């Protein structure tokens, strides 16, 4: 497994488990039956942190759609450098930072974490064109 695929794997796992804390909050607020019911306008609201975590999860999924193909393209063309591996690590840790600061409600830091992740993706995209 390449270093890039390692970081992609961690990112996929992180994205795959982000729903758990806010679903636990949903069960606490609405009860198990209410959490499993179809959404309704009359539902009790979740804790603010849980709502922000839901948005962070949505954002993680949206960005995984960009990050994963970049890593897989690099793998398919057998291109790996210290910079592509570093960009993947930076991307993963920026996503961790993003979900923490988003959940805590720290807007400026949330944006900074997002931009760092975006720049890491840009490094990967540039590496693909550099490989040709």
The DSSP letter of residue 41 is: T
Structural domains of the chain ordered from first start: 3-131 (1.20.120.550)
Q: What is the mean pLDDT of residues 119-130?
A: 97
| Of 73, 99, 111, residue with least CA distance to 11 | 99
- The dihedral through the CA atoms of 24, 29, 34, 40 has a sign that is negative
> Distance between CA atoms of 2 and 74, rounded to whole angstroms?
10
Q: Ramachandran region of residue 60, left (φ > 0), alpha (ψ -120 to 50) or beta? A: alpha
Contact 49, 106 (CB under 8 A): no
What would the pLDDT profile of 37-77 be if each residue is shown by its tens digit?
Answer: 998 898 999 999 999 999 999 999 999 999 999 999 999 99
Q: How many CB atoms lie within 10 A of CB 94?
A: 21
Is the pLDDT score of 29 beyond 90?
A: yes
Q: What was the pLDDT predicted at 100?
A: 98
Contact 33, 87 (CB under 8 A): no
What confidence tier does 6 reach under pLDDT thresholds 50, 70, 90?
Answer: very high
| Of 10, 11, 20, residue with least CA distance to 103 | 20
**Does the pTM exceed 0.75?**
yes
């Amino acid at each position: 497994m390449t270093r890039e695929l390692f970081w992609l794997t961690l990112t996929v796992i992180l994205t795959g488990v982000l729903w758990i804390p806010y679903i636990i909050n949903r069960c606490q607020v609405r009860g198990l039956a209410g959490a499993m019911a179809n959404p309704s306008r009359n539902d009790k609201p979740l804790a603010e942190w849980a709502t922000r975590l839901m948005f962070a999860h949505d954002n993680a999924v949206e960005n995984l759609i960009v990050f994963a193909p970049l890593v897989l393209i690099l793998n398919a063309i057998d291109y790996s450098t210290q910079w592509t591996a570093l960009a993947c690590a930076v991307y993963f840790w920026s996503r961790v930072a993003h979900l923490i600061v988003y959940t805590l409600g720290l807007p400026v830091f949330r944006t900074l974490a997002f931009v760092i992740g975006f720049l890491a993706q840009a490094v990967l995209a540039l590496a693909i064109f550099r490989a040709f």
